Chains A and B, each alone.
Chain A
């Protein structure tokens, strides 16, 4: 058990996840402008337009990402999605983020729960079906990352992360 106590509401996860994502992007995308935002109550197209980013695929289809990361340098823009859950993960959670990933093709995407991996544990750890995490255009290997969120540390619990980073 990673967390001895869960959060009362999923909303409590957004700010610490935003903070972690910001650190993660700062460490891995040096020289880029970095933006992280709690975007759970706003449509993706609207958030992106605030930062001068147009994404036709995101327009008018009502995608909402809990925590969004953007890194920018000159004409290069990369997106990062974090989907937060306070309950055990299930296929529905996986499917939701996977569809967003296949549509928008972010650079990386994280599905994290402060509870446990739920039914995805068996699927990913026992049956080793990490092929279900694939997205992208095939030129670069991209996999969604699934993990338990460590509340007290304010980071993903890396020992639970699938696939390993």
Chain B
């Protein structure tokens, strides 16, 4: 495995689609950006364009063909095509389990055997297309506790795979906001307002900014924000005279948190939930994570 291929696989597993003809698949990767301006009022589209130039320079020699690029208001799309028999295409299809969309992909078991450098590049590719860091991502109302959010729609097991890959690299997840009724509408507030499916959102993996530094982003404005917010986080802890590591570098099974008891939610039986957890009640995100395979 090489770093560029690991990065490309990460992007595909994060937000890729494999379409086109069977004998000539087209791979497209969407790089979304929620806002059109950064928090210091720079035009994000310009940053994304500049980042795409770098990404093309890195990936084009690997794929041996041109990457097409289209820019929309809230996303940019990279795409390329190669014959099905091409070695690179066959490898991509093998690593993605021949799934046509990221929703149905898992992280191939071989990726867990990659060298640390390649695991990091895979995660960087993944998070370039699924990760966000904004001032509003701070934790528990403490403004300096900045976090990276990795957003994964629908794919429950991709969440678990990403958390386990992070665990391999000794990077703890602070919390997972599962798209589960007990987590996203834990007191049935929205349910009682008639919004029965309110909880059906994307899953959010949250990681403290400083813990995410070993991965980093390839997208310029995200990397700049990560560096800024990590520094703010470190300074915040210093000012409060608290040890950063004792707060940010902890896996959930390393501390005993009390779970508040939550009421049952009719959505616990929803057909969209994976079989392992369907029909069960959870008082904490940790119980779901453990049940699905992310634990000690």
Instruction: State the A residues within 8 Å of B (CB).
Output: 4-5, 23-24, 27-28, 150, 152-155, 158-159, 161, 164-165
Contacts and interface: CB of A to CB of B under 8 A. Distances in A.
B117 A27 contact: yes
Given A155-B120, A158-B3, A164-B61, A27 B214 contact: no
Contact of B215 (A153, A161, A164): A153
Nearest to B6: A158
16 contacts: A4-B228, A5-B227, A23-B115, A150-B216, A152-B214, A152-B230, A153-B213, A153-B215, A153-B216, A154-B213, A155-B120, A158-B117, A158-B121, A159-B58, A159-B218, A161-B3
A159 B4 CA distance: 8
B224 A24 contact: no
A4 B227 contact: yes
A83 to B, nearest CB: 19
Interface residues of B, number: 22
Residue of B54, B115, B230 ringed by the most chain A CB atoms within 10 A: B115
Contacts of B61: 164
A161 B218 CA distance: 14
A165 B4 CA distance: 9
Contact of B117 (A5, A155, A159, A164): A155
Residue of B54, B57, B216 ringed by the most chain A CB atoms within 10 A: B216
Contacts of B214: 152-155
A40 B120 CA distance: 28
A27 B218 CA distance: 23
A7 B14 CA distance: 33
Interface of B: 2-4, 54, 57-58, 61, 115-117, 120-121, 213-216, 218, 224, 226-228, 230
Given A23-B116, A27-B116, A152 B3 contact: no
Which 3 pairs between the two chains have the least Cβ-Cβ distance? A27-B115, A158-B3, A152-B213
Residue of A24, A150, A152 ringed by the most chain B CB atoms within 10 A: A152
Contact of A159 (B54, B120, B224): B54
B67 to A, nearest CB: 15
Given A164-B2, A165-B3, A153 B58 contact: no
B3 A28 contact: no
A150 B217 CA distance: 11
A72 to B, nearest CB: 20
Given A153-B214, A159-B58, 19 more contacts: A4-B227, A23-B116, A24-B115, A24-B116, A27-B117, A28-B115, A152-B214, A152-B226, A152-B227, A154-B213, A155-B117, A155-B214, A158-B3, A158-B117, A158-B121, A159-B57, A164-B2, A164-B4, A165-B2
Contacts of B115: 23-24, 27-28
B4 to A, nearest CB: 6
A154 B116 CA distance: 12
Contacts of A23: 115-117
Contacts of A154: 213-214
Contacts of A159: 54, 57-58, 218
A147 to B, nearest CB: 11
A127 B230 CA distance: 37
